[in-house]
Amino acid sequence: MKAQIGQLIKILKGKDEERYAVIVEVLDERFVLIADGKKRKFDAPKKKNVLHLELLPIISQEVAISLQETGKVTNAKLRYAVQKVAHGKEINNG
């Protein structure tokens, strides 16, 4: 599976292990920028190797559309997307 903007991920390696976040930018085949809107804000995303992430089969349409239209997304939208996954609720894939 290829990483996509707005895709939810679970961090497998590093100090944020077991946390969820959203891909806010795909840098290349190996690296993406992630943010969760809480610990990792949109203004200061974390660069991660995709091998250290579990790519979940969930795309947050709200986040993806916001990034496509404006180039940015609110931390509240990121928190909302992460919270829904962390609490086991599916996000509408539109």
What pLDDT is recorded for position 94? 41
Instruction: For 38-80, write each residue's pLDDT tens digit.
Output: 999 999 999 999 999 999 999 999 999 999 999 999 999 999 9
Long-range pairs for 81-89: beta carbons < 8 A, 24 or more residues apart: 81/8, 81/22, 81/37, 82/8, 82/20, 82/21, 82/22, 82/36, 82/37, 82/38, 85/8, 85/20, 85/56, 85/58, 86/20
List, in order of start, the domains of the chain with CATH numbers. Answer: 7-86 (2.30.30.30)
What pLDDT is recorded for position 90? 53
Mean pLDDT of 12-19: 95
Residues 6 or more apart whose Cβ sits within 8 Å of residue 9: 3, 20, 21, 22, 23, 32, 34, 53, 54, 55, 56
